[in-house]
Each structure stands twice: as structure tokens, then as C-alpha cells.
Structure 1
């Protein structure tokens, strides 16, 4: 069986190490690329039809509004085949204590029965939040393994930690 890295990431203005910085590549995408290099898994970026604002403050307001109304944003596309994957590395930034709502849309679209989910989350101090609990609630028939939280401002130096996490989850 094959592995898939499904991730949501956002470049543009981001909060990094206490400051607003413009990122060409979002932190979660950096981590997803490391996982792909290490595992050879297929990559799929979760993208909502309506992208969040490039402005950080507007983005967080939009993300909070989506969460408050329990939105399920429409996605641009989905992986062509999902059945062939037995392990899904699921990546996202921590938005208001959990995953962006587009990740909820993705999880509700597929049957995760018998699949392994390996969550990884980038953040600036809030860790995984309630995301692992939310994944377990959305995918009750999946095996949700220990997640990895990665400080966004340190993601480019996290490859060795990511390697250790991948290996620990394969035992």
C-alpha cells in the first residue's frame, strides 16, 4: 500500500517568532516536503476554492469566522484515488486551536476506515491544540497515531525531528 501526505499550508503574511513575515512557502508545506523526501509518499495540497487573504490579520479573522460557523469550505480538488493509501500524513497549521476548516472538509470527504492517520501541525506556540481529538471524532474508524507539532519559526531546522517521528510511528 502507498502513503499520502495531505496538507494545508499558507504562504503570504504569517506570524513567525513574534513578528509578521511574508513567506514564499508556508511552514506546513516545508514540513510536508521533508516528509515527502524522507518517505517518498505522494503529496497532495488541500486548497479551498476561496483562498484566505494574503494579509495575516484578515486571514485570522476569516479563519475564526469559518470556525465559529463550522464552515466546510469547498476544495479545489481531491486526490484521484484514495483507496490505495493505507497511511495518510495529515498536515496543517494550528488555526484557533485546531485545523483549518478546509481540512475538516477533506476528512469528511473520504472513508478512513482501516487507514492510519499521522497528523503533523505547525504552530507558533499553541501545539496541536484539539486537532488530534477532532481528527479522531471525524475519522472514528481510523488509527490516529501520535501527532507531531512543529514550531513554525523553526520548521526549516526540523528535518531530523521529523525523521525521528516518522521512524517512531513505523514501529
Structure 2
């Protein structure tokens, strides 16, 4: 077994970028996940909540804040069996200092024993926040590597940084 998987959560629509709101047809984290796949050959799996997040930025962050405060676990559209993968990239935007709650839903209850976890976070200034600590709460028995934080508005030029991060750890 030496297969790789990228699980990612990404938000299309209005996003904060360099001090203003921009409308994205493809979320920054999705772009980063595609770069990881190109470099590593890993299979892509998108974490999608049953209920879409609002397109408008201000509405979306309010929903995200409420979910975090309530420690909610939004239902997901689908799931994937991670048994056959030994390396799992977990990519997500920083929402209120950690991962979006659908990522928590995905992680909860899975067996990550003997797997290597690569956390990647897109952000606009807040870095990884406490997401690495939060990931470690759910992936007992896994080797969680130092995460990579990519400024979302710079993801289109981040291939070199992502490649160096992957190659340093594989």
C-alpha cells in the first residue's frame, strides 16, 4: 500500500482576498488540492456538506461562526473509505481559526492508524490557526506532519512551495 488521497473542503463564491471581496468560480482550497494531485498523483475527494454554504461572504462567515460555536457536525453529501490510503492530505480554508465544521464531520470516527497526514490550509493572514491541534484530536495513531499555510489569493503561484513541502516529507 502506498496510495495517496487528498480530501478537501473549498468554498466557491465570494471570498476575502487582499482586503476585498472577490467572487471565485473555483475555491482557493480546491485549486491547492488540484496542485497537490498534480505533484503527488493523489486521488481527489471533495468534502461537501448537504446544505450549501451561502455564496455571499458575510453570510457564509456568519454560518461558519455559528457552526463553530455550536460545535456542529454538518451532514455530508458523501464519504470515502480511507482504508486503502496510507498518505492523506487534508486541505481546507481557515474559518474562524480552524477547519470548517464539515472537515470535522469527515474526520470523526475514521481509523487513521498508521497513516501520514499532510494538513494544508488556505487563508488570508491567519495561517493554520489551531487546525493542526484540532486534526490531531481526530487522527489517533497517525503521523501528522507540519502543515502548510498558503495565502488563498496567492494559491495560483504556490506550486513551488507545495512541491517543496510534499517532497521534503515523502
TM-score w.r.t. length of structure 2? 0.98
Give distance in 2, aligned partners of 1:153 and 1:87: 27
Runs of 4+ in 1 over 3 A off after TM superposition: none
Give distance in 1, aligned partners of 2:112 and 2:75: 19
Counterparts in 2 of 1:18-37, with a 5 A limit? 18-37=19-38
Give distance in 1, aligned partners of 2:129 and 2:140: 19
Alpha-carbon offset, residue 151 of structure 1:
0.3
Give distance in 2, aligned partners of 1:155 and 1:169: 20
Counterparts in 2 of 1:1-171, with a 5 A limit? 1=1, 2-79=3-80, 81-170=81-170
Alpha-carbon offset, residue 114 of structure 1:
1.2
Give distance in 2, aligned partners of 1:169 and 1:96: 28
Number of equivalences: 169
Alpha-carbon offset, residue 140 of structure 1:
2.3
Give distance in 2, aligned partners of 1:109 and 1:77: 15
Task: Give ranges in structure 2 of 5+ residues lacking alignment.
Answer: none
Give distance in 1, aligned partners of 2:73 and 2:112: 18
Give distance in 2, aligned partners of 1:109 and 1:20: 36
Alpha-carbon offset, residue 163 of structure 1:
0.4
SS in 2 for 1:22: strand
TM-score w.r.t. length of structure 1? 0.97
Alpha-carbon offset, residue 138 of structure 1:
1.5
Give distance in 2, aligned partners of 1:82 and 1:99: 19
Q: Conserved in 2, the CA contact under 8 Å of 1:97 and 1:126?
A: yes
